[in-house]
Every structure is written in C-alpha cells, then in structure tokens.
Structure 1
C-alpha cells in the first residue's frame, strides 16, 4: 500500500514574513507544539525556520541574571537572517517513501508541501514515522 503525502501532511501551516523579528518567532514556538515555521514573501515560500535555527541564533544569556542589552538584541534579528533558504519541498501526490528519501538525503526535519507553487501543508519526520508505524 502506498501512502501519499496528502493523506498524512499537516494542513494547518504557520507562516511568518521574511522581516518578522525573532520576538515573533519566540512567541510562536513558546505557544505551539511544533518546531518549523515556513517563511514567506508575497505568499511565496522563501525558507524554513526551525526551532533549532532559532535557538542557535539566540544568546545563551537571554533570561539569565547576567543578560545584557546586547544579548537581548539577538531577538531583534529578522527571520530571513536565520532561516534556511531554498527549502527542499515535496508535492502532495508523492509518497512517504519519496519524502523519507528526501529528508535523509538532505538531512532535514521537514518538507513544505507545495502544489503548483502554493503552500498546502508540511510534513515532518514524526509524520513519516507515524505513517510507517501504522501501515
């Protein structure tokens, strides 16, 4: 049995603009149970900003007693300064084996799902693992 991406992808995708500050990203990641944001410009996908990208950018002193103004300035960076550009994407008509191969080949944790250039969903390694374990 072949499982298509359209059958298991998340269709509730959260996007941010290229010029959104990391303070916006922080609010989203603090409130939501997911780890990837799609970065858009004029409704077109420009990149992916993972929670790992975000955390790697922040000063380790944020929220600590020795936090300085300079540490806090890292939250003023913009999404386009932190995101991964030229993201690998997949069509909703592809199958989970193809998605798995792409993720392994490119060493990534998610694939934006595009249909004729329009964002229709996102699939993560957890979605793939869930689908494989239920098939």
Structure 2
C-alpha cells in the first residue's frame, strides 16, 4: 500500500480497552498490565469523555507527596486522574496528520472514532510500525544516517530510544519521536 493512500484505519490497534470514570483508579493500571498496554480510554455510556495513560497515573501519584502516601485509595476514581476531552481521529485521516497531532499536542495516541463509535486507537508504536515509517528509504537529514535500520532496530528490540555512536564517541540519542517529527515535515 502506498503511503499516500494510508489511512488511520490501516494502522489502528483494536480492541480498545476502556474503564468508566466511576471505576476505582486501581482498576486501570491492572488492566494495562494484564493487556500489556500503556493507556485506556475512559468511556461513559458510549461516549468518550477521557483517556488515561500510565504517565497520567504516575504524575498524579508523584505529586501526592511522601512515598508512603503514593498509593491508590478505594476512594480514588478514574475521573480524578484522566485527561479530559482527548483529541480523536476518523478512520480516513492520514497517519501523517496523526504524526503532526502527536507533535503539536504532545500526546502519544488518538482514539479513532467512526460515526460516534470508538473503533480503535492509533499510538506512536502503531505509527512506527506503519508503512509511513517502515517504508522510508535512504536517510533522514539531521536525525540518523540510516532511518530504515534505526526503525527496524527499535521494532526488533521494542525500544523507543537508540544511543547513536559515531567514531566510538556518543553522538546523541535518537527517539522514535525524532523519526515521527521528520516524517511529519
């Protein structure tokens, strides 16, 4: 498939796991661990009022003060932790547009909604595995000498960062975000 005709529906992850805003927040990380995911959607009677990520939870716990206080209480609800009104996409939107959304909004995923129904989610990982990125040929100026090798290595090792060494000296760190930024230009 040509990257010109690639759409969000070609790269979405599904099924999407969801929690209710009324659920005890401890349910969300348990769901994330069980399904090896880093985010869940917050669904309320078929509507999408929010999204909850591991980072959201970690940030909130970190700001609770002393280490001994950093745990979930049976009183904490998902609605206290989630990101409200998440940016979403349609199934026909281009992954290139999604990459630009990731950069401008500083987010790592967008739910994909078709006629008011959540049909999937596109994450940075999905974008990195897509033909938009894996179809790169040649080099990406100022990012890496061999983007194809970098993307393949990141996927193989399941990492988001690579240490770049040139002439036996540290040259920098290449992040999946860097590749996405270059592709989105």
TM range (shorter): 0.7 to 0.9
Which of 1 and 2 has greater Rg? 2
RMSD: 1.7
For CA contacts below 8 A with separation 6 or more, give which structure has more relative contact order.
Answer: 1
TM-score normalised according to structure 1 size = 0.86
Which among 24, 39, 44 is matched to residue 42 of structure 2?
A: 39
The aligned residue for residue 64 of structure 1 is none
| Shift of residue 26, structure 1, vs aligned partner | 2.4
Is the contact between residue 23 and residue 76 of structure 1 (CA under 8 Å) also seen in structure 2? no
Unpaired runs of 5+ residues, structure 2, are: 136-185
1:6-53 per-position Cα deviation (integer Å, ceiling 9, x unaligned): 011012100100111112112112222111100011011010101100
Is the contact between residue 92 and residue 114 of structure 1 (CA under 8 Å) also seen in structure 2? yes
| Shift of residue 74, structure 1, vs aligned partner | 4.3
Large movers: runs of 4+ above 3 Å: 70-76
Unpaired runs of 5+ residues, structure 1, are: 62-66
Query: Structure 2: how far apart are the matches of 1:95 and 1:26?
Result: 30
The aligned residue for residue 59 of structure 2 is 56
The aligned residue for residue 110 of structure 1 is 109
Is 1:133 paired with 2:133? yes
Aligned pairs, number: 128
Query: Structure 2: how far apart are the matches of 1:107 and 1:83?
Result: 16
1:66-95 per-position Cα deviation (integer Å, ceiling 9, x unaligned): x4xx54454641111111001100001111
Task: Give SS of 1:27's match.
Answer: helix
Query: Structure 2: how far apart are the matches of 1:105 and 1:75?
Result: 36
Task: Give SS of 1:22's match.
Answer: coil
Task: Give SS of 2:26's match.
Answer: helix
